[in-house]
Structure formats: structure tokens, C-alpha cells
Structure 1
Amino acid sequence: MSTLNPYCPDCGAAVAHPHAEGCGVARCLFTGGRRLSCGSRHRADLELDHACGGDEWTGRWPGEAEAAEFGWWTCWDGPGPEQGWDYQGQGWVQVPEGTPGAVPDLDRLSTDAQWDRHALRWVRRVNR
């Protein structure tokens, strides 16, 4: 897993301090999605006008800790300086922890986990 970053890369919030308004990293504590693009007033499946809350910078990208906890890792297998720009590859692929270049698979959170607004974290979906 990556080392802790003492400051949010977007708004500069220090660890354990709230993100600034308009920060692209801050998440909505109601939905778990990006606060900047929450759009709660335009979605029929959400409670209207919910408060997104004051997400704090943890030192890690939102969801990174949960993806690592669940053992969900991904690695780029595609064009780039390592393989060459003409290499086709498979794009992002699921890999085991410890694979060189692997990062927590944040995309998998939206399919195999759900946001728990009371615990303020992603939890594994059951029966998947």
C-alpha cells in the first residue's frame, strides 16, 4: 500500500482535517461518492437535500484502505514506457497483493462493496 500523504493532493488539508469546499478528493459521507459531483438534488434514488458532511483527509485516497483490506489489487497492462507505446495489453487487470506495480482496486468498490453511511466506510457486499 502507498505511504501516507500528509496533505490532500487537491486542497492541501492535513491528515485529520476537513477537506476544503470544492475539493475533488473529498467524498460525500452520505453516498461515498465524490462530494464535488454528488448531485443529490438530481437523483430520485437518494434522499433529497442530504448533507454531504465534512470528510477529513486520512492520508490515503478515499477507498484505498478498504480495497487493500479486501485484497483487491489492480495493475496496468497496457501501452506505456515499460512495455512500449504500441503494446496492446489488457488495460487494468486484477492481480494478487505484492504484484509489482499493483495499486488498490478502487473501481471494484462500486461493484463488490457498498457504502455504509453509518460506519463511513466501504463494506463488502454479501452474496457476491
Structure 2
Amino acid sequence: MTTHSSETDTGPLQRRCPDCGVGTGQAHLDGCDVARCPATGLQRLGHSPSCRCPQDVGTGRWPGEAECIEFGWMLGPGMPDLNRLLTTATWDPATYRWTHPGTPTPNTEGEQR
């Protein structure tokens, strides 16, 4: 697996969400296109109203960008391959992160599955 420096692959952290305008570390506002559902990793906008997941917090990066850098899935400098991420990786709701295919995940008893 190739790892890349965030300095060379991405720009600086965004100080504000490009959609709802909240600062890094703050919960995205309802209706924000950038916010993700922590239960599914998918866009929170339009997800089931019955989902009781907590609000997503802005990180200063586009959702999934950090994982694309980590996995070496970049289309070019500053261009994470988010389509590959969404179609290949698996969302881990316990860690709120996408996992690389083939990465063992612990089951509820803490054993690898």
C-alpha cells in the first residue's frame, strides 16, 4: 500500500465547511451536503429520519479524503478517488472510518472476523 503525505496530496485544512459554514470541530448543520451519517458513512442529507446517529463533525477535509490518501487512492495531487472509496472500501461505524478491503474487523467479542 502506498502512503502519501497530506502536504503533497491535499491543500490546507478548510477552516469552514464549504456547504453549511461551520468551523472545524463543530457539528454540521441540518441539510448540509458535506455531513455524513456516522452509521453508514454515506451522505447524511436524505438519510432515514429514523436513524438515531449523532451529528457529523467537520474535520476540515472532504469526507473520505484521509482514507483515500492513506490507501494511495489518488487521481492526482489534491484529487482523492472517492468513487473508488465508496465502491471498494467498507464503512466501520465503530471508528467512523472507511477500511481497506481485506482489513480484518473485530466482531462484537473483540475477535477478528
Tell me which interval the TM-score lies in, with the shorter structure as reference length.
Answer: 0.7 to 0.9
Quote the residue 1:2 is aligned against: 11
Q: Which has the higher contact order (CA 8 A, sep 6+)?
A: 2
CA root-mean-square deviation: 1.7
Provide the rounded CA distance (Å) in 1 between the counterparts of 2:53 and 2:33: 13
2:90–2:99: 8 Å Cα contact kept in structure 1? yes
For each residue in 1:59-112, what CA deviation from the matched residue of structure 2 results, as whole angstroms up to 9, or x when unmatched?
0000001111100011xxxxxxxxxxxxxxxxxxxxxxxx4x551111111222
**Which residue of structure 1 aligns with residue 72 of structure 2?**
71
SS at match of 1:35: coil
| Matches of 1:52 and 1:36, distance apart in 2 | 13
Q: Percent identity?
A: 47
Question: Which runs of no fewer than 5 residues in structure 2 stay unpaired?
Answer: 1-9, 104-113
Higher strand share: 1
TM-score by length of 1: 0.68
- What is the letter of the counterpart of residue 95 of structure 2? A
Q: Structure 1: which amino acid aligns with 2:91?
A: W
| Distance (whole Å) between structure 1 residues aligned to residue 53 and residue 40 of structure 2 | 8
Q: How has the CA–CA distance of structure 1 residues 102 and 55 changed in structure 2, closer, same or farther, with 3 Å as cutoff?
A: closer
Q: How does 1:1-128 map to 2 (within 5 A)?
A: 1-38=10-47, 40=48, 49-74=50-75, 99=76, 103-126=79-102
CA apart distance, 1:50: 2.4
Unaligned 5+ runs, structure 1: 42-48, 75-98
Alpha carbons 1:35, 1:52 under 8 Å: kept: no
TM-score when normalising by structure 2: 0.76
Mapped contact 1:32–1:115 kept (Cα < 8 A)? yes
Corresponding residue for residue 92 of structure 1: none
Structure 1 or 2, whichever has the larger Rg, is 1
Matched residue type, 2:83: D
